[in-house]
Amino acid sequence: MWRLVLVVLLVWTWTSSALVRVPLRRVHSIRSQLRANNQLSEFLKHHRPDMFNRRYAQCYPPGTPSLRLGRSSEKIYNFLDAQYYGEITLGTPEQNFSVVFDTGSSDLWVPSSYCVSEACALHRRFRAFESTSFHHDGRMFGIHYGSGHLLGVMARDTVKIADLTALNQEFGESVYEPGSAFVMARFDGVLGLGYPSLAEILGNPVFDNMLAQKIVEKPVFSFYLCRRSSNENRGGQLLLGGTDKALYKGPINWLPVTAKGYWQIKMDSVAVQGVSSFCPRGCQVIVDTGTSLIAGPTNDILSLQQLIGATPTNIGEFLIDCARLSSLPHVTFVLGGTEYTLTADHYIRREMLGNRELCFSGFQAVDILSPEGPLWILGDVFLTEFYSIFDRGQDRVGFALAKHSGED
């Protein structure tokens, strides 16, 4: 995410190229828990409005084939109705951790047993002294996210996900996680999938280590994120080493990476109800599985909220009258000459407050400057509709229409 949190990978041996299917699952809404305890307003004063959501479920469209020989799967959970995490192991013998898988960062870190922060006390902590494959580094690192920061020390150890194992993986042991940003998180740490230049921890990010150790079939990973439904809970899938044609339909639209840090590409324009309204001469956008909503420069997003009839609240979110959803305009993102249109059902997030349904805008203001100008972020509100492919071999991002359950 845009320095905000999270995504996944890991490894076997150089003799075993593999394609790993990671089923994604959804979890219970922390936002709902906060509302029930009358804590939501205070919490949102200090956190991004898209920071927490939890609901479990498995997700595959009808007819998805079973895993072929040479593939392995692991259960992954959906955090935030959009952010995804799963279990990995570190060390020998293995110690289990849940990490968020994030295309918007590049570091792997988990809490250390020496961490003294409240957030660490509520999560699993790495016990370096119990691992026979652990290598101490001793250098310090610091990571700043949009809603918090942490400090730690660097180390190396064996990392494993499903049947894939990576040796001598550089990672961070956090020893200080101040504030409440990570206290309520359901994950222990973060596993970034961005380019190495984005990393704060010295050494190869996990996917680069996988490539160096010749573990995956192809230098590609892909995401299939399911839409939210009031009738069924669904998650998605992260596939390491390739793509799954059973999860998308139509051609793949490939766009070159314009800056190798984030998965950054060029966006032609943003149109509301067919009228080009924003970045008409093109702008840069980050494809970020670690950001729940679609984000853009403050002035543009405020104008967009007005165009869709969203009104601000005192908790920092924008609300829309749920009775008006059928009349709301379509919002179209043009990428590589191809139009990607979201209806209100796609960009509005529904929440229940007691017996009352609230409808929240799926757009948020985030100002990120770059040499190419202000950046937009295509987060999970966008990625639930379109299968996304991240190709390190040819430095490109691909999109295809996601094939959801119940669709032809």
Q: State the DSSP string of 10-65.
A: ----TT--BEEEEEEEE---HHHHHHHTT-HHHHHTTS-TT---B-------TTPP
- The number of helices, as runs of H, and strands, as runs of E, in the chain is 7, 29
Residue 237 falls within a domain, yes or no?
Answer: no
Q: Lowest-confidence range among 44-53, 147-156, 254-263, 361-370?
A: 44-53
DSSP structure class, residue 327: G
The encoded tokens of residue 30 equal: 């922390």
Report which of 248, 396, 401 is spatially closest to residue 338, judged by C-alpha positions: 401
Q: Which residue has the tokens 């992954």?
A: 76
What residues form DSSP beta bridges with 319? 311, 360
Distance CA 391, CA 241 (A): 9
Beta strand ranges found along 112-261 (DSSP E): 135-145, 148-161, 164-176, 189-192, 220-225, 236-240, 248-256, 259-260
Co-location of 392 and 248 in the same domain? yes
The answer as to whether 210 is a domain residue is: yes
SS3 for 311? strand
Q: In degrees rounded to 5, what are phi and psi of residue 27?
A: -135, 170
CATH code, domain with 59:
2.40.70.10
Amino acid at 280: P
Total of domains in the chain = 2
Yes or no: say if 79 and 53 are a contact pair by the CB < 8 Å rule. Answer: yes
The token pair that represents 120 in the structure block: 């660490």
DSSP-derived secondary structure letter, 193: -
Q: CA 349 to CA 336: how far, in whole Å?
A: 27
Residues 163 and 55 grouped into a single domain = yes
Same-domain pairing of 391 and 345? yes
Cα–Cα distance for residue pair 196/11, rounded to 1 Å: 18
Residue 58 has pLDDT above 60, yes or no: no
Q: How confident is the model at residue 404 (pLDDT cuts 50, 70, 90)?
A: confident
Closest CA to 294 of 386, 221, 358: 386
Is it the case that residue 64 has pLDDT exceeding 50? no
Q: Do both 195 and 91 map to the same domain?
A: yes
CA distance 70 to 271: 43
Tokens of 287: 């494809």
pLDDT at residue 278, rounded to an integer: 92
pLDDT band at 23 (very low <50, low <70, confident <90, very high): low
**CA 128 vs CA 121, 131, 168, 204: distances in Å:** 16, 5, 14, 20
Mean pLDDT along residues 312-328: 89
> What is the per-residue pLDDT for 65?
42
Tokens of residue 95, six digits? 């110690």
Structure tokens that stand for 90 in this block: 């570190």
The DSSP secondary-structure symbol of 216 reads B
pLDDT above 60 for 7: no
Question: What's the pLDDT band for 28 if we cut at 50, 70, 90?
Answer: very low
Q: Do both 332 and 389 map to the same domain?
A: yes
- The partner residues of 46 in beta bridges, in order of sequence, read none
- At 228, phi and psi to the nearest 5? -80, 145
* 64 token code pair: 């998805």
Q: Is the same domain home to 181 and 309?
A: no
Show which of 223, 256, 277 is a domain's final residue: 223
- Mean pLDDT for 76-91 is 68
Reply yes or no on whether the pLDDT at 141 is more than 50.
yes
In the predicted model, what is the mean pLDDT of residues 59-68?
42
Pairing of strands 164-176, 148-161: antiparallel
What pLDDT is recorded for position 84? 64
8 occurs within a structural domain: no
- Which of 182-186, 229-233, 343-347 is predicted least confidently? 229-233
Domain boundary among 164, 189, 223: 223
Confidence of residue 147 (pLDDT cuts 50, 70, 90): low
CA 338, CA 329: separation in Å to the nearest integer? Answer: 19
Query: Could you tell me if 205 and 311 lie in one domain?
Result: no
Mean pLDDT along residues 336-364 = 91
User: How far apart are alpha carbons 259 and 264 in whole angstroms?
Assistant: 6
Q: Is residue 235 part of a domain?
A: no
- The pLDDT confidence band at residue 85, using thresholds 50, 70 and 90, is confident
pLDDT of residue 127: 97
Could you tell me the two tokens for 134? 């652990």
| Mean pLDDT, the chain, integer | 80
**What stretch of H or E contains 299?**
helix 298-307
Asked whether residue 253 falls in the same domain as residue 375, the answer is yes
On whether residue 4 sits in a domain, the answer given is no
Indicate whether 13 belongs to any domain. Answer: no
Distance (Å, rounded) from C-alpha 249 to C-alpha 97?
34
Paired tokens of 45:
């004063």
Annotated catalytic residues are: 102, 288
In terms of domains, do 57 and 197 share one? yes
* Residues in a beta bridge with 209: none
Question: How far is it, in rounded angstroms, from Cα 255 to Cα 268?
Answer: 11
Specify whether 190 is located in the same domain as 103: yes
Looking at the structure, do residues 124 and 67 belong to the same domain, yes or no? yes
Q: Are residues 285 and 382 in the same domain?
A: yes
**Any domain includes 211:** yes
> Containing domain of residue 311, as a range?
244-402
The predicted structure's pLDDT at residue 101? 83
Answer with the one of 192, 223, 254 that is the final residue of a domain: 223
